[in-house]
């Protein structure tokens, strides 16, 4: 990220202005009602910026801002609005889910019908639409696995071992060239996109940022450790087939090699991770503490809901012949996309 994004409302205006100064007290803001907090541009970008201080930081922003109490208080207010909207949209059922039912409950969520963006990309998407899709995904994929890693110190025993087994693969099994975030950056470069971390934050809409903020919310709060486990379990269970379709869509457009390696790698890796995540991680955590069963399932349902909202937004915009981003990304440099053979490496 080369610079802070443009403000989208009073909260991001405050953040973008204050964060470039030395850490000091951030004034509280009067709560501003939103028609839809789950896609509110100001709220979701503000949350994303606050969370980013716990990841790689923000350009020109002093690292001491990470634990500034007044900024944490502002983030708490944003989180409350986000969380309340989530619970309204996806009510959390208070009854516990037994450990031996976790796998079945997650599979039922995974099999629910919803808008299939991957099917569209596989058979119909044009190159500009595929590039837009990749820009959307960059908000998470360039830091893939990091939000779920917050759960590692919150777990113990078998679930912790299962999570580390999954994360070990996500981080390339110790080989930098196979870190999944690096593979995604290479795919972006092959498609003529800027692979720098956060390069497109300014044009990624709130409905997309909400899908990433969900992971950070769950991962950064110990009380939602069950939810982040359920999120990861469903994430792995619903990854292999869509990634195969994305890879097929790129090949249909003449791309291969660097452009498809990220997606092809996930077809194989996530097919293995599926059972580990559902049975050993999610099921194992519920066996340790059956009270967390409801949170595990709710975390998966929250993921399913926000992903469906995002996919519906993208497909609706494309169906109307307009960009699904806040504005179209810059044209690719040179002939990187005009000649897909360059992506074959």
How does pLDDT run across 116-171, given as a tens digit for each residue? 999 999 999 999 999 999 999 999 999 999 999 999 999 999 999 999 999 999 99
10 Å CB burial of residue 130 (0-12, 13-18, 19+) is buried
User: Where is the domain boundary, 89, 119, 147?
Assistant: 89
Number of domains the chain is built from = 2
Give percent of the chain above pLDDT 70.
96
d(CA 138, CA 182): 11
Same domain, 111 and 68: no
CATH code: domain of residue 184: 1.20.910.10
Out of 22-31, 80-89, 135-144, 296-305, least confident range: 22-31
Mean pLDDT of 292-317: 97
pLDDT above 70 for 341: no
Mean pLDDT of 190-214: 98
Same domain, 123 and 38: no
User: Where is the domain boundary, 89, 109, 134?
Assistant: 89
Same domain, 216 and 71: no
Give a yes or no: residue 273 inside a domain: yes
Mean pLDDT of 226-238: 96
Domain span holding position 130: 99-344
pLDDT of residue 336: 52
Q: Residue 109 in contact with residue 304, Cβ under 8 Å?
A: yes
Give a yes or no: residue 304 inside a domain: yes
pLDDT of residue 338: 46
Mean pLDDT of 91-116: 90
C-beta neighbour count of 281 within 10 angstroms: 31
pLDDT of residue 311: 97
For the whole model, what pTM was predicted?
0.94
pLDDT above 60 for 190: yes
Rg (CA), the chain: 20
d(CA 168, CA 174): 7
């Amino acid at each position: 990220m080369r610079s802070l994004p443009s403000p989208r409302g009073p909260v991001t205006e405050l953040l973008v202005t204050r964060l470039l100064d030395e850490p000091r007290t951030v004034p509280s803001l009067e709560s501003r009602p939103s028609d839809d907090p789950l896609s509110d541009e100001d709220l979701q970008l503000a949350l994303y910026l606050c969370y980013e201080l716990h990841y790689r930081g923000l350009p020109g922003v002093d690292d001491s801002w990470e634990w500034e109490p007044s900024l944490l208080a502002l983030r708490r207010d944003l989180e409350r609005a986000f969380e309340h909207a989530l619970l309204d949209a996806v009510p959390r059922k208070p009854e516990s889910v037994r450990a031996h039912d976790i796998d079945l409950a997650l599979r039922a969520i995974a099999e629910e019908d919803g808008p299939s963006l991957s099917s569209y990309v596989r058979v119909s998407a044009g190159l500009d639409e595929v590039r837009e899709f990749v820009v959307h995904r960059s908000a998470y994929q360039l830091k893939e696995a990091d939000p779920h890693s917050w759960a590692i110190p919150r777990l113990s025993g078998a679930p912790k071992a299962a999570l580390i087994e999954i994360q070990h693969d996500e981080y390339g099994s110790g080989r930098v060239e196979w870190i999944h975030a690096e593979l995604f950056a290479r795919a972006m470069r092959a498609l003529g996109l800027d692979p720098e971390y956060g390069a497109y934050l300014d044009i990624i809409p709130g409905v997309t940022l909400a899908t990433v903020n969900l992971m950070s919310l769950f991962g950064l709060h110990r009380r939602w450790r069950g939810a982040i486990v359920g999120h990861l379990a469903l994430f792995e269970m619903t990854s292999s087939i869509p990634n195969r379709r994305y890879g097929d869509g790129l090949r249909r457009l003449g791309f291969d090699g660097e452009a498809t390696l990220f997606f092809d790698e996930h077809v194989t890796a996530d097919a293995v991770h599926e059972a580990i995540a559902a049975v050993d991680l999610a099921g194992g955590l519920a066996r340790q503490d059956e009270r967390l069963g409801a949170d595990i399932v709710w975390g998966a349902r929250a993921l399913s809901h926000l992903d469906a909202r995002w996919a519906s937004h993208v497909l609706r915009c494309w169906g109307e012949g307009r960009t699904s981003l806040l504005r179209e990304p810059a044209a690719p440099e040179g002939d990187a996309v005009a000649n897909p053979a360059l992506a074959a490496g």
